[in-house]
Structure 1
Amino acid sequence: MTHFLGEYEATIDSKGRFLLPAGFKKQLPEGENRFVISRGFEKCLTLYPQKSWEPLIAKISQLNDFDPKVREFRRQFLGGATEVELDTAGRMLLPATLKEFAGLSKDIILVAALDKIEIWDADKYKKLFEDFSPEAFSILAKDVMADGSPENWRV
């Protein structure tokens, strides 16, 4: 499975396309050019390489249809999910409804998120860090990474 690193700036053209940054292209498995793009958990989009999407869908398809939370999750998570492919120039078309959901303007930032890539409006992404102090990050890191065992406190 691919694990991405980095964040890259890109620009959406007048037709709603952006060029997948070379830094991410280099990290893709050979020949991987098909993706699924969907709504992110925040006001961003999430771009999954096909190989990352397939096991996720397999897991989701096994959830209990009789549970209303499952149905609500599927609607939220899968609604708007669209297969996209890189064209010969390495560009990708953003579906208009997803672009609107994330409030994407011309300037975007693509951010590594382990096996997927988040697509953010550049101004919104930069604001995330302006509003987040080093102290708040330290507390978040402790809350997320520490499970109470001292041997797990070290990175």
Structure 2
Amino acid sequence: MTGFLGEYEATLDAKGRFLLPAGLKKQLAEGELQFVINRGFEKCLTLYPMKSWEPIYAEISKLNDFDPKVREFRRYFMNGATEIEPDSAGRLLLPPNLKEHASLEKDIVLVSAVNKIEIWDAGHYKKFFESFSSEAFSTLAQSVMTRANEGGV
């Protein structure tokens, strides 16, 4: 499974294209140039290497279509999901609807999120961290990691 570390700044050109930073490229599996980009849970985009996307898609495909919550989740999650790959100059093109969803203009931040990469507007990303206190982070970490440890992680 692909795993990522770090956060990297990049710039969108007038057409909504950006170069994947070298630090992230080095972390991709050899020859991994196909991605799926989608809306994130927050006001960002999520870039999945195909190896990370395929198991998620397989799980979603197994869900029960007769359950209204499944259909609703699938619509929200799959809405906008788009396959992308670098052009001849190595740039990735953000679909306009997704670029608009995340309010991406020029300066962006690419953030590792274990097996995927989040793409944030640089200003929104900075505000997100400025509004989150160290005490709130400590409480969140305790809650999440306690649940993870109870589940055998």
State the TM bucket, normalised to the shorter chain: over 0.9
Aligned-residue offset at 1:149 = 6.8
Local SS of the residue matching 1:88: coil
Provide the TM-score with structure 1 as the length reference. 0.94
Q: Which residue of 1 aligns with 2:56?
A: 56
The amino acid across from 1:42 in the alignment is E
Aligned equivalents of 1:147 and 1:48: distance in 2? 26
Tell me the secondary structure at the aligned position of residue 124 of structure 2: helix
Alignment identity in percent? Answer: 72
Deviation at 1:6? Answer: 0.4
What amino acid is the match of 2:81? Answer: A
Displaced runs of 4 or more, over 4 A = none
Residues 19-58 of structure 1: pairs in structure 2 closer than 5 A:
19-58=19-58
* Structural RMSD (CA): 1.5
Cα deviation 1:100-130 (Å, max 9, x = unaligned):
0011110000000000000000000001110
For residues 148 and 74 of structure 1, do their structure 2 counterparts lie closer, same or farther at Cα, with a shift above 3 Å needed? Answer: closer
What stretches of structure 2 of length at least 5 have no aligned partner?
A: none
Matches within 5 A, 1:68-107: 68-107=68-107
Aligned length: 151
CA deviations 1:60-96 (Å, max 9, x no partner) are: 0000000011001111000010000012322100000
| Structure 1 residue runs without a partner (length 5+) | none
Structure 2 match to 1:115: 115
DSSP 3-state at the match of 1:146: helix
TM-score (norm 2): 0.95
Task: Give the letter aligned to residue 86 of structure 1.
Answer: P
| Aligned mates of 1:147, 1:60 — CA distance in 2 | 24
Change (3 A) 1:70 1:110: same
- Read off the aligned partner of 1:66 and give its amino acid letter: F
